Structure 1
């Protein structure tokens, strides 16, 4: 809001970022079933408009320039958002419709909008069930509303509501368009998510009741919360976010959901839905209950390293392409958690760039895995050998994505994992030094299973399923994959694209929780 009570352009952009995909989903629901392709085109247009508006949120950042007035919000300097919109929502309960964006949430907002656009555009050429693309695109837009709202919400109650919006449409995407065992995977996803949601609701209720406010800016630093309240709240919130991320040992819904989901569902799941948990851990759990975070930091560090090691060892035993990529997310999210657990600027920055890198690279990997499975009708590694001989371009892209995922310097996957290990080492002491060494060993295991994947799929004599493949790639595939390839290169060569915008808010967050 401006001082004169009018809504600044930044506030309008915040509402538009959420409102455009919501409007697109409603419009698609109103279109007749016979207009299936027109509906998919319409949904893609709305997704493109959302990406444009989301990208424009950086204009006027930190300056209160022409695009948005910087309000004198409560909270430590620097924790305040670039732009925000704070309106009375339910006056009787003192609930507010409070949205905002800063350097912590902005990269995730843009990544969400980009991946949704790529997935909607992908459905113009490839629909799992012909004639039902309209419904699939509408559900993807609803999922986008929930994810974007989670990243933009600065009110705990609003955060919880957006957090829950994702559940039913993602359940439907898996249950309707998934593989043979899709209903079991969808039910498992729903049950785990509901378990986390109950804990999140109790955690939110605990904080709001004790503090007398749901404003995340005012709550940052834990002011007004006793030590006992912070310990209880952090425990509830951390477990809830661990389910969504998912973090070991609450990860078992992930492989089934990824394996059974359609390609676009897997891309959204891995690319941005998992980030709701790690973002919530930073913004809400650590920000609101810092004493609880400091108390639980050693446990979080141990669980993070366990996730890295266990995830890598399980990947070495996998024989299905999508399942291997799914389990790799457990290890990568372990590095993100390790960075958060250190509670240092280096660690939080590592977690943030690790989130973005994982979304870009794993999104690309699932696009490629879907393309391979669509062509060969199998995901078994033993039936995919010789891909390089039959489809060299597809094999080359798979090699690029795998090398980026294992953390090769110069590509996006390197920075998050390297900085997480450095942050743990810098914490010092026997525990954190041991965790840093074990995490580094886990990085070596990551390289082992991804190189094994490339050896099994790309090299050797061509299997019968691969021999019949056509060597070229479609225009739809090139359009969907090229932005992710370029981003993996850009972030790897210029990590300041993510770290630059996050430096000030991360510093302010750490200053507030000391």
Structure 2
């Protein structure tokens, strides 16, 4: 056995530290379960230290051209289970690096948001923050692994902290949502395990020894028989489609997204779901190129159907959490379209969309949580006229909504534009149908904003909060159907606090900066998607001139 692609002598351990730091931080929080204040400080310190390490990784990363065309950088590898040819192997390309950056950027924001989180009776702050850090550790492992078996281990390990975040800290139906999330993901993981074993056997037949090293598996991908590729592709695809989630594998997300605590929902929809679309790019396309080309029309049908189906369901939602979850399913349809349209532009747009979706949908979930914290209800109909009471909150929700519907000048517009422009030359029919989703997105976002923010002050949640805040206070009204006077309004339904503004400000800055200047991220993504196109064995249909900026 001579795995020529992976050094056994170690390498740069930075990516290993990115996994170990939040994992050790989660363990360090356990003794602090009776000291909430110190647990918050320690959790935030670990999250910020992780962000600093990611900044260092970003600074050390250079373009593949400067590295002699090397696909992965910051590589580290030591033997793990030699009998099976597995390694503790890490490395990143541009796509993995931007998703690691997204994760490290969001977690400190979520720590700050969790500073005022109301936890169920008997649950500790240390436990909550520890689970967040444990989830971050597994995500770093998923995006950084270059051994397919190691990737699978982290892929399955993600379920554990997220299951407990939903099941122990979520809403009234948290147990149902947690079990549904776990079973769906576990089923997908078991199907992928079967394909993983098949991949190992296939590599042994071609190389004379079994391997899980990504680079070796990719080097023999073209020699794998077509029928074998299709079966192996389907095993990986189902697992990733459940995680993504693509229609019809999406039904766990509305329950998990609405029942999870808001901070966990942001991590779930903002980052964890990207593991599915990342898996398409990193594993399905390069390791099964012929199967990817053969089955692309089927995937495109599911992606475009998801854009339209989820958008229509979003319009009819009455629960705010489920509303945001369905908007997310629609966005993942655009990402799927970009990936399987097979052009440099569409692939780059899909990879960028993963980052932008995490920012815009994450901000939407946070604002929904802030609304629920004030009104005590998740029903959209229980809110109205909030802009008159909390104009800063309403303004922030408008920014998040405009980003979600891909208004020009916001981050999502760039990625959605790249997906559609890049998809049209190869898949014009699918692209035209998907553009209907843009109209529907404007409909459901503006409908939601108008119902909750505009018009006269109304709704049981808003009026109830005003009554509770104004009870006995100056200017309070006796009639619960009448809006309380201004002093009660400020007390009962306050605008954003300084901490809440601090939570949202980095997201707003990122949304606007990436809306006008996405080049730094695209410069990282471009070489990786170009390499992916080469691995799939397709020529770029877009005329020469580079990716549109």
* Greater shift in the superposed pair: 37-46 or 360-369: 37-46
Distance 2:350 2:105 in 1: 20
Checking the alignment, whether the CA contact within 8 Å between 2:14 and 2:74 is kept in structure 1 is no
Checking the alignment, whether the CA contact within 8 Å between 1:79 and 1:505 is kept in structure 2 is no
Tell whether 2:212 aligns with 1:214.
Answer: yes
Residue 270 of structure 2: aligned partner? 271
Residue 244 of structure 2: aligned partner? 245
Cα drift, residue 223 of structure 1: 4.0
TM-superposition CA deviations, 1:162-215 (whole Å, max 9, x none): 111111111111111111111111111111111111111112111122013211
Residue 474 of structure 1: aligned partner? 497
Structure 1 residues 5 and 274: CA distance shift in structure 2, 3 A: closer
Residue 160 of structure 2: aligned partner? 168
Cα drift, residue 124 of structure 1: 2.4
Residue 335 of structure 1: aligned partner? 334
Residue 469 of structure 2: aligned partner? none
Distance 1:21 1:60 in 2: 21
Structure 1 residues 4 and 349: CA distance shift in structure 2, 3 A: closer
Distance 2:342 2:330 in 1: 20
Checking the alignment, whether the CA contact within 8 Å between 1:393 and 1:471 is kept in structure 2 is no
Checking the alignment, whether the CA contact within 8 Å between 1:79 and 1:508 is kept in structure 2 is no
TM-superposition CA deviations, 1:294-324 (whole Å, max 9, x none): 0011111111110000011001111121111
Checking the alignment, whether the CA contact within 8 Å between 2:61 and 2:73 is kept in structure 1 is yes
Cα drift, residue 7 of structure 1: 4.8
Checking the alignment, whether the CA contact within 8 Å between 1:78 and 1:508 is kept in structure 2 is no
Q: Which runs of 5+ in 2 are unaligned?
A: 1-5, 204-209, 467-491, 538-549
Distance 1:180 1:417 in 2: 36
CA RMSD of aligned residues (A): 2.0
Checking the alignment, whether the CA contact within 8 Å between 1:179 and 1:262 is kept in structure 2 is yes
Structure 1 residues 5 and 173: CA distance shift in structure 2, 3 A: closer
Checking the alignment, whether the CA contact within 8 Å between 2:8 and 2:78 is kept in structure 1 is no
Kindly tell me the number of residue pairs found equivalent between the two proteins.
497
Distance 2:217 2:513 in 1: 35
Counterpart secondary structure, 1:57? helix
Residue 101 of structure 2: aligned partner? 110
State which of 446, 454, 465 in structure 2 corresponds to 1:451: 446
Q: Which runs of 5+ in 1 are unaligned?
A: 71-76
Distance 2:288 2:246 in 1: 20
Checking the alignment, whether the CA contact within 8 Å between 2:285 and 2:535 is kept in structure 1 is no
Residue 181 of structure 1: aligned partner? 173
Residue 26 of structure 2: aligned partner? 25
Counterpart secondary structure, 2:61? coil
Cα drift, residue 471 of structure 1: 3.6
Distance 2:196 2:10 in 1: 28
* Greater shift in the superposed pair: 437-446 or 33-42: 33-42
Counterpart secondary structure, 2:429? helix
Cα drift, residue 487 of structure 1: 0.8
Residue 285 of structure 2: aligned partner? 286
Checking the alignment, whether the CA contact within 8 Å between 2:10 and 2:78 is kept in structure 1 is no
Counterpart secondary structure, 2:95? coil
Cα drift, residue 288 of structure 1: 0.6
Residue 318 of structure 1: aligned partner? 317
Cα drift, residue 142 of structure 1: 0.8
Cα drift, residue 224 of structure 1: 4.1
TM-superposition CA deviations, 1:357-416 (whole Å, max 9, x none): 100000000000000001000121111110111111101100110011001011011122
Checking the alignment, whether the CA contact within 8 Å between 2:342 and 2:423 is kept in structure 1 is no
Counterpart secondary structure, 2:90? strand
State which of 135, 139, 143 in structure 2 corresponds to 1:151: 143
Structure 1 residues 79 and 251: CA distance shift in structure 2, 3 A: farther
Residue 477 of structure 2: aligned partner? none
Spell out the pairing of 1:66-465 with structure 2 (5 A cutoff). Answer: 78=69, 80-129=71-120, 132-211=124-203, 212-220=210-218, 222-427=221-426, 432-463=427-458, 464-465=460-461
Checking the alignment, whether the CA contact within 8 Å between 1:78 and 1:504 is kept in structure 2 is no
Distance 1:44 1:187 in 2: 29
Residue 510 of structure 1: aligned partner? 533
TM-score of the superposed pair, with normalisation by structure 1: 0.93
Distance 1:32 1:410 in 2: 44
TM-superposition CA deviations, 1:227-262 (whole Å, max 9, x none): 222111111111110001111011000000011111
Residue 43 of structure 2: aligned partner? 43
Residue 487 of structure 1: aligned partner? 510
Cα drift, residue 485 of structure 1: 0.8
Cα drift, residue 63 of structure 1: 6.7
Q: Post-superposition, which runs of at least 4 consecutive aligned residues in structure 1 deviate over 6 A?
A: 3-6
